[in-house]
Amino acid sequence: MRVVLASASPARLGILRAAGIDPLVEVSDLDEEALLASVPHASPGEKVTTLAGAKATTIARRIAGTHPDALVIGCDSMLHIGDELVGKPTDAHEVRRRWSVMAGGMGELVTGHAVLLMADGGIDRVAEGHAVTAVRFGSPTEAELDAYIASREPLAVAGAFTLDGLGGWFVEGIDGDPSNVIGLSLPLLRRLLAGVGVTVTDLWRG
């Protein structure tokens, strides 16, 4: 079965490859801000799951002719901290503002997941859900934060930090699934796959 990852995230692709799956990658290029604005009263989990579902659906329709029986996986991550739900920062100033709130505190990394099983070019089965992992942040010095911003890593990731990259130096610990913080929860994805009738071991590369 052809697996398609509806995400541009190298981290998500890395998680799947390390877990035995080699997906095709298709990027949806959705207007995420407009989509979030359409669900202003939804919970953080509902918002990221809405984004994940929209990405997966967009890609499923795009590939219907070339991969009519594919399995499409969509994901979207945001950080919930200080009563604010934030994605990727737009510039260095926003990274500094975020870290002024995050440093020494705790936030929740929320990732929405959507699994679409296609049949004959149509969407046959759908399973969606979200995972939450609590993240305890350290307090980088001004010099450390300057260097981190200069690396440009925090500009490319939800919440302006990573667990598996340079940002890991400034994470004191987590409570929950570590793969979710990186961008894709393997335990949740396994359950969602089962929900559409797919056994995860059948997707492992031979």
Catalytic residue ranges: 76
The DSSP call for residue 64 is: T
180 to 43, 44, 51, 131, 163: CA distances (angstroms):
18, 15, 16, 7, 10
Find where tokens 């335990």 sit: 187
> Of the candidates 14, 18, 7, 28, which has an alpha carbon nearest to the alpha carbon of residue 112?
7
Q: Half-sphere exposure (CA, 13 Å, Cβ side) for 195?
A: 15
CB contact at 8 A, 154 and 89: yes
- Dihedral of the alpha carbons of 79, 82, 85, 86, in degrees to the nearest 10: -60
The pair of structure tokens assigned to 202 is: 């059948």
